């Protein structure tokens, strides 16, 4: 192995087959920046940083500026093979504050390069021992294009319903539950409610006989006390997503008793080894973890799936992001029977070749 000699970016834009709507945003495209790191032996690794104005605050332009500027400065000359596994995460954390997606894409690219050099899948490199992980599928907050047949077509048996836009949400949840009564209901309000609104919503759903598997981020990210109060009132498991970016957020959430499950996303925490650390600390505090992702392509989702396979191989994760931009007739899709299939080729080679066979350096 040898030192990193170059860091480059390229833009990736893909249309979704169905608009994706949450309480925070509506989008009909995946817009992301793919990062490539190259070492002195000519080997490359790839990572993806999605544009997420409303969660990480990152844009395509900010990601490019960050990666080509301070993150490239930090990485060029660094030899990852001779360092501790989490050294790229630490190096990049010291280079910039925030910019979690840009940092994660660089770290994933470094780890991808190491996995490819070892001839290992990214999952195996991280300690995973399964070849697929289960995932839910999201039902948008506007209910668009949803049907029980659509859900079943990809074999999904868990649905995560986006709520938090308006009070009629609850009628929609009750109707979906009635249409697919055997499918456990996961709700994600993306910070769209306040304590009174969330309480009323949970009471209405419980009264209607909707069994909630969990309620994700009902309240604003800062409101740890409110999330703790909801847990006490209803006993419904609370997932923290926007409240927990990194390990320090996790410790604050644990101290506040604010959640039962943490939704780990690479673009929030800054990389695969940061995600592994969050999972370890969460388990030590008797919390569960779920691995999710932003709206990103098969490249970024494959990295998240590799992390999921390593930290919680038996859980149902939140890895449907890439499904929204695949050709639904594509026989090579990783989505089958409600699972995300991990590729058998080294590192992220398979996903990278599917989404970006040629890398047009910006």
Residues near Mg ion, by CB under 5 A: 188, 241
Q: Are 164 and 201 in contact (CB under 8 A)?
A: no
Residue with the shortest CB distance to Mg ion: 241
Q: Order the strands of the 335-336 sheet from edge to edge.
A: 316-317, 132-135, 339-341, 335-336
To Mg ion, the closest distance from the beta carbon of 193 in angstroms equals 13
To Mg ion, the closest distance from the beta carbon of 255 in angstroms equals 22
Residue-wise burial string across 89-115, b where 16 or more C-beta atoms lie within 10 A, e elsewhere: bbbbbebbeebbbbbbbbbbbbbbbbb
Catalytic residue, from 160, 265, 268, 280: name it. 265
Q: Which is nearer to Mg ion, 125 or 340 (CB)?
A: 340
To Mg ion, the closest distance from the beta carbon of 120 in angstroms equals 30
Burial class of residue 43 (count of CB atoms within 10 Å of its CB; 0-12, 13-18, 19+): middle
Closest CA to 21 of 208, 176, 163: 163
The answer to whether 160 is a known catalytic residue is: no
Q: Which is nearer to Mg ion, 64 or 241 (CB)?
A: 241
Torsion of CA 139, 222, 267, 307, to 10 degrees: -80
Q: Which is nearer to Mg ion, 75 or 262 (CB)?
A: 262
To Mg ion, the closest distance from the beta carbon of 82 in angstroms equals 37
Neighbours of 288 (CB within 10 A): 16
Query: What's the rounded Cα separation, in Å, for the pair 295 and 289?
Result: 19
Q: Which is nearer to Mg ion, 46 or 340 (CB)?
A: 340
To Mg ion, the closest distance from the beta carbon of 177 in angstroms equals 19
| Torsion over CA: 36, 39, 45, 50 (sign) | negative
To Mg ion, the closest distance from the beta carbon of 263 in angstroms equals 6
Residue 312 sits at φ, ψ, to 5 deg, of -150, 70
Instruction: State the DSSP string of 314-343.
Output: TSEEB--GGGGGS-TT-TT-SEETTEEEPP
Closest CA to 208 of 178, 167, 165, 230: 178
Residue 58's Cβ-side half-sphere holds a number of Cα atoms within 13 Å equal to 29
To Mg ion, the closest distance from the beta carbon of 55 in angstroms equals 9
Closest CA to 137 of 319, 331, 325, 332: 319
| Strands (DSSP E) found in 53-149 | 132-135, 137-139
In three-state form (DSSP H/G/I as H, E/B as E, the rest C), the secondary structure along 237-294 is CEEECCCCCCHHHHHHHHHHCCCCEEEECHHHHCCHHHHHHHHHHHHHCCCEEEEECC
Q: Which is nearer to Mg ion, 23 or 124 (CB)?
A: 23
Give the residue numbers marked as catalytic: 162, 265
């Amino acid at each position: 192995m040898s030192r990193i000699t170059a860091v480059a970016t390229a833009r990736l834009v893909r249309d979704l087959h169905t608009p994706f709507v949450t309480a925070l945003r509506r989008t009909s495209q995946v817009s992301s920046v793919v990062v490539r790191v190259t070492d002195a032996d000519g080997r490359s690794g790839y990572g993806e940083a999605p544009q997420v104005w409303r969660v990480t605050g990152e844009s395509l332009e900010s990601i490019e500026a960050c990666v080509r500027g301070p993150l490239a400065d930090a990485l060029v000359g660094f030899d990852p093979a001779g360092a501790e596994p989490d050294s790229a995460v630490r190096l990049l954390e010291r280079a910039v504050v925030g910019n979690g997606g840009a940092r994660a894409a660089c770290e994933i690219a470094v780890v991808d390069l190491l996995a490819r050099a070892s001839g290992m899948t990214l999952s195996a490199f991280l300690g995973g021992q399964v070849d697929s992980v289960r995932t839910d599928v999201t039902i948008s907050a506007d209910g668009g294009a949803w049907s029980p047949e659509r859900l079943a077509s990809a074999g999904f048996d868990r649905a995560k319903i986006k709520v938090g836009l308006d009070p009629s949400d609850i009628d929609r949840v009750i109707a979906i539950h009635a249409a697919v009564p055997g499918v456990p209901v996961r709700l994600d309000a993306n910070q769209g409610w306040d304590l009174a609104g969330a309480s009323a919503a949970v009471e209405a759903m419980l009264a209607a006989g909707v069994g909630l598997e969990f309620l994700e981020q009902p309240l604003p990210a800062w409101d740890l006390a409110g999330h703790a109060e909801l847990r006490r009132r209803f006993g419904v498991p609370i997932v923290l997503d926007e409240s927990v970016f990194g390990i320090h957020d996790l410790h604050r959430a644990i101290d506040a008793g604010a959640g039962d499950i943490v939704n780990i996303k690479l673009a929030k925490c800054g990389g695969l080894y940061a995600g592994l650390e969050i999972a370890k600390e969460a388990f030590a505090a008797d919390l569960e973890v779920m691995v999710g992702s932003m709206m990103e392509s098969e490249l970024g989702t494959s990295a998240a799936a590799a992390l999921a396979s390593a930290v919680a191989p038996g859980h149902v994760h939140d890895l449907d992001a890439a499904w929204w931009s695949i050709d639904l007739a594509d026989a090579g899709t990783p989505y089958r029977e409600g699972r995300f299939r991990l590729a058998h080729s080294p590192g992220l080679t398979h996903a990278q070749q599917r989404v970006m066979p040629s890398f047009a350096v910006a």
